[in-house]
Amino acid sequence: MLTQTITTPAVPATKVFTAPRTPAAPAIDQFGVIASCAGVIATEFSYRKDEEVYGEGEPSEYVYQVIRGAVRTYKLLNDGRRQIGAFHLPGDVFGLDAGSTHRLTAEAIADTTVRLVKRRSLEAAAGSNVQVAHSLWTMTARDLRHAEDHMLLLGRKTAIEKVATFLLEMDRRLAKAGMMALPMCRRDIGDYLGLTLETVSRTLSQLSGQGILVFSSARQIVLRNRQRLADMDA
Mean pLDDT, residues 125-134: 79
Whole-number mean pLDDT of the chain? Answer: 83
Answer whether residue 177 shows pLDDT above 70.
no
- CATH number of the domain enclosing 85: 2.60.120.10
Question: Domain residues for 227?
Answer: 158-233
* Ordered alpha helix ranges (H), 101-225: 119-126, 130-156, 159-174, 186-193, 197-209
pLDDT at 55: 97
Same domain membership, residue 22 and residue 126? yes
Residue 50 φ then ψ, to 5°: 70, 10
What is the arithmetic mean of pLDDT over 194-214?
96
User: In terms of domains, do 88 and 178 share one?
Assistant: no
pLDDT band at 224 (very low <50, low <70, confident <90, very high): very high
13 and 106 part of one domain: yes
Tell me if 12 sits within 8 A of 32, measured CB to CB: yes
Are residues 197 and 111 both part of a single domain?
Answer: no
Query: What CATH number does the domain containing 180 carry?
Result: 1.10.10.10
Statement to judge: residues 172 and 110 lie in one domain? no
- Co-location of 170 and 221 in the same domain: yes
Give the H/E segment covering residue 231: helix 226-233
User: Domain check: are 188 and 104 in the same one?
Assistant: no
Does residue 182 register a pLDDT over 60?
A: yes
- Residue 129: band (very low, low, confident or very high) from pLDDT cuts 50, 70, 90: confident
Residues 98 and 182 in one domain: no
Residues 76 and 139 in one domain: yes
* Overall domain count for the chain: 2
Domain boundary among the residues 126, 154, 182 is at 154
Name the 3-class secondary structure at 77: coil
In this structure, of 32-41, 109-118, 121-130, 220-229, the range with the lowest mean pLDDT score is 32-41
Last residue of a domain, one of 154, 174, 193: 154
The C-alpha atoms of residue 234 and residue 141 are separated, in whole angstroms, by 23
